[in-house]
Structure 1
Amino acid sequence: MHIPPASFRVTPYGEVDAKALDALRESYETSQLLNVVDRLDACLSEIGGIGSIREDFLRLHAMAMTVLEGSPLTVTTSDVDSIWEQAMSLQEDISALCSCLQAGSKYVVPLAALAPDYQD
């Protein structure tokens, strides 16, 4: 009786697709993940960090509550630009962060492709 080789391999971090693993061992540069971390750090530094985006969302929410729902002022008008300038600034930061993350995702996709296919 002929038993075909397993389509997966057991690793310390779970079972992985054997063919995908062999292909990645030949072509994947793990250092690219560290490069992504460096680029992400630079991007976050440029936009003031995740905390800054969080604060900008909260500020914009407070401004929207006042403008759209008539809530009392909670953000002093001397501390911020207009609501649309605040929104545009936040949108630019979000776009920059998304671009950075999207660029980094191309190095994550091949590792996700290690998911075993037990159908073989």
Structure 2
Amino acid sequence: MHIPPASFRVTPYGEVDVKALESLRASYETSQLLNWVDRLDACLAQIGGITSIRDDFLRLHAMAMTVLEGSLLTIATSDVDSIWEEAMTLQENISALCSCLQSGSKHVAPLAALAPDY
């Protein structure tokens, strides 16, 4: 009786697909993950950080409540641009963050491919 070799290998961090592991060992540079962290830090600094985007959403919500639903002013008009300028800036920051995260996803995908195929 012939028993084929296991298609997975047990590692300290779970079972992984043997072929994917061998391929990554030959071609994957783990330092690219650290490099990506630096790029993420730069991207977040450029847009003011995650907290800034959160605050921008809250400010835009307050402005939208006033403009669309007639709510009382909660954001001083001297503290902001027009609602559409605020929205465009937030949209640009979201796009920049998405682009950065998509780049990071490309570096993570090969490691996700280590999932064993039982």
Same fold (TM over 0.5): yes
Q: Tell me the equivalent position of 1:34.
A: 34
User: Cα offset for 1:72?
Assistant: 1.1
Q: How big is each residue's C-alpha offset from its partner over 1:55-86, in whole Å with a ceiling of 9 and x where there is no partner?
A: 00000011111111111111110000000000
Shift of 1:104: 1.4
The equivalent residue for 1:19 is 19
Write out aligned runs for 1:46-57 (5 A): 46-57=46-57
Q: Show the counterpart of 1:74.
A: 74
**Structure 2: how far apart are the matches of 1:95 and 1:42?**
15
SS at match of 2:84: helix
Paired residue for 2:43?
A: 43
SS in 2 for 1:78: helix
Following superposition, the deviation at residue 21 of structure 1 comes to 0.5
The RMSD of aligned alpha carbons is 0.6
Q: Is structure 2 residue 77 aligned with structure 1 residue 92?
A: no
| C-alpha distance in structure 1 between counterparts of 2:82 and 2:38, whole Å | 33
Paired-residue identity, %: 85
Q: TM-score, normalization: structure 2?
A: 0.98
Query: Unaligned 5+ residue runs, structure 2?
Result: none
Q: Give distance in 2, aligned partners of 1:25 and 1:14.
A: 16
Q: Does 1:113 align with 2:106?
A: no
AA at the equivalent of 1:100: C
Q: Give SS of 1:116's match.
A: coil
For 1:30 and 1:84, the matched residues in 2 are separated by: 42
Aligned length: 118
- Please give the TM-score of this superposition, normalised by the length of structure 1: 0.96
